[in-house]
Structures are given as C-alpha cells and as structure tokens.
C-alpha cells in the first residue's frame, strides 16, 4: 500500500535515483519485538490496574504485604501503561513509519536492539521491581526512581539518533505532518523528562511542585499526544487513499501544541504559592491549547469525511475515527 507520505517524497526519490514506490529497509524484527512486548506488558499493567480498582471496594484485599499495597500497585499501573505499553507501541510504529516517511532506513539495527533492551530491561522491568520494593518518587507520572529515570533519558537520546537523524539526512524539501510530530515528540520529551523527574528532587517547596506540574501535563502533551496524532495522520490517508483535509492546519496545530503545552502544567496550581505570573501564563497557554485541539480534531474529522463505509471495514481507521475527539477530554 502506497501512503500519502511515500507519494510526497516522489520528487526526492527521482533526484536520488531511487525508483518511485521503493521502500527503504524496514526492521520488521524490531517491530515484532516491540509489538510483542507491548501486548505482554499491557496485560501486566492492566492487571495492576484491576488490583488497584479492587482495593477501592475491598481495602484489605491483598493487603498483607508491602509489595501489594495500593500505592505501589497504582504506581506500577500508571508507569506500566506509560512506558511498557505505550512506549513499546510507539517504538514499533516508529520502526514501521520512519523509513517510509523519511525515505531512509533507521540509523542502526544494532542500536535498535540496544534501545529495545534499555527500554524493557533497564526501564520497565527494574522500574516495576524497584517501585514494588518501595523505591520510588512521590511525583505524579514520575514515580520510577531516579536510577531508572537516567535510563529513560538515555533511551530518548538514542531515539534522536535512531529516528530523528534519518529525517535530517533525507534533506527533503518538506516533511509530512507525522514526521514533524515524531521529531517534536522525541526531542521535547527528551528535554522535558529531566525537568519533571530530576528538578523537583533538587528544588524544594512550591517551586519544585511547579516543575512537577509541568511534567504532569508534558507526559501527556509532549509524549502521548504527538505520537498518537502522528499515528492518526499516518493511518487516515493510508487507509482512505486520500490526502488530509489541510496540511496547513495540521502544521498550525503542531506549532501551537509544542509552543503552548509545556506551560500548561502550572494551571493545576492556580491560587497557590507559585507566582501569579506563572499561573496566568498557564491559563493563557491552556486557552491556546484548547484552540489547537479543536483545530487538529476538526482537520482529522474532515479528512475522514465520506469514508464511513471504509471505517466500517477497516479496524485501524475505525479506531482512529473514534480516537480523534479524545484530545478534547485531555
């Protein structure tokens, strides 16, 4: 299946002497590994969540051991969904989409397997074990201990080389919007993650809470949202065989997201000890973000107009169709 992104690099292929429609090398082994890891860990993460939910009604359920207390199980549930399920799923998508979007293979297969090991055996599994053993941070969406956080930052640095560098090497005159969201999500998360995980440990009081609040939102807005939007913008034209409604609107949504979302987290601390200027900035940024959400969702839904028959038969497209309004709830 030829996607819109592949068509957009046709002229670049011609200049490079590559035949149109030829797909660069895709690391299907890494795709399968991350997909299997995602499927296995989502079951584990969901099990943590079921146990947490059960304790709301049966407070003494599995309460005889510290490893099975509500707080530790909840930490492992949220971080498991964040890193184990979504992280592996996003990485699988990158290995599939980046070669097609950049018209270049990812940097290195060996680096890919090293990244797979770092993500699953230096972040996810040790994070779960350490949290269950009582080693964690009392920070929302930053519960894994600092030693695990160091490997998370390392993993994102490796992602820059593995996935961002092919786009820089492509030297295409323009990039499809999914490429922008992949690049932005990786780079901004690499920069924002230390702010929300390391800085609160060094800065006490309200200032530390403000930095933590930034990451509470950045975890969703600079990690989950851009990668999910990249998938949506990739799946829609690939399945409908029609271009998105407006590339201009898609890029406006991209820049508004990445220029306003990093300020949003402080709106959790309105009328607190944090300086009022920071609170007002967060409120203004939240208003702009609401506009961006409406813009992006409208663009995606208009891109799907007239495709109800396709959506009824195509499961990925149907999933994306129902997902489009979700950012409004975020």
Each residue of 196-218: pLDDT tens digit?
A: 999 998 988 888 888 888 888 88
Each residue of 235-277: pLDDT tens digit?
A: 999 999 999 999 999 999 999 999 998 888 788 888 888 888 8
- Residues 62-77 have a mean pLDDT of 90
How many percent of the chain have pLDDT more than 90?
61
- Residues 78-94 have a mean pLDDT of 97
Contacts 24+ apart (CB under 8 A), 119-124: 119/83, 119/87, 119/88, 119/91, 119/155, 120/37, 120/41, 120/84, 120/88, 122/148, 122/151, 122/155, 123/83, 123/87, 123/148, 123/151, 123/152, 123/155, 124/41, 124/80, 124/83, 124/84, 124/87
- Residues 116-132 have a mean pLDDT of 98
The mean pLDDT of the chain is 88
Each residue of 147-161: pLDDT tens digit?
A: 999 999 999 999 999
Minimal CA–CA distance to 104: which of 30, 31, 157, 162? 162
Rounded Cα distance, 284 and 228, in Å: 25
């Amino acid at each position: 299946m030829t996607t819109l992104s592949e068509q957009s690099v046709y002229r670049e292929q011609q200049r490079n002497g590559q035949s149109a429609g030829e797909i660069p090398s895709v690391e299907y082994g890494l795709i399968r590994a991350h997909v299997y890891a995602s499927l296995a860990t989502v079951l584990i993460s969901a099990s943590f969540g079921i146990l947490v939910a059960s304790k709301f009604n049966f407070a003494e359920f599995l309460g005889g051991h510290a490893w099975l207390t509500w707080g530790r199980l909840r930490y492992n549930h949220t971080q498991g969904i964040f890193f184990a399920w979504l992280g592996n799923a996003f990485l699988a998508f990158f290995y599939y989409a980046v070669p097609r979007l950049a018209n270049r293979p990812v940097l290195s297969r060996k680096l890919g397997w090293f990244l797979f090991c770092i993500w699953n055996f230096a972040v996810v599994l040790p994070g779960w074990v350490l949290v269950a053993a009582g080693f964690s941070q009392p920070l929302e969406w930053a519960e894994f201990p600092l030693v695990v956080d160091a490997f998370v930052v390392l993993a994102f640095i490796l992602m820059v080389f593995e996935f961002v560098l092919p786009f820089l090497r492509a030297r295409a005159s323009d990039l499809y919007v999914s490429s922008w969201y992949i690049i932005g999500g990786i780079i901004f998360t690499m920069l924002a993650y230390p702010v929300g995980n390391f800085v609160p440990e060094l800065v006490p009081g309200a200032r530390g809470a403000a930095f933590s609040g930034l990451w509470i939102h950045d975890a969703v807005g600079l990690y989950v949202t851009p990668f999910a939007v990249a998938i949506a913008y990739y799946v829609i034209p690939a399945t409908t065989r029609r271009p998105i409604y407006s590339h201009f609107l898609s890029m406006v949504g991209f820049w508004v997201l990445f220029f306003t979302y990093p300020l949003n987290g402080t709106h959790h601390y309105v009328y607190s000890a944090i300086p009022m200027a920071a609170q007002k900035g967060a409120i203004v940024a939240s208003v702009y973000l609401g506009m961006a959400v409406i813009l992006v969702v409208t663009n995606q839904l208009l891109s799907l107009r007239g495709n109800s028959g396709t959506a009824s038969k195509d499961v990925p497209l149907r999933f994306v169709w129902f997902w489009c309004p979700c950012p409004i709830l975020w």
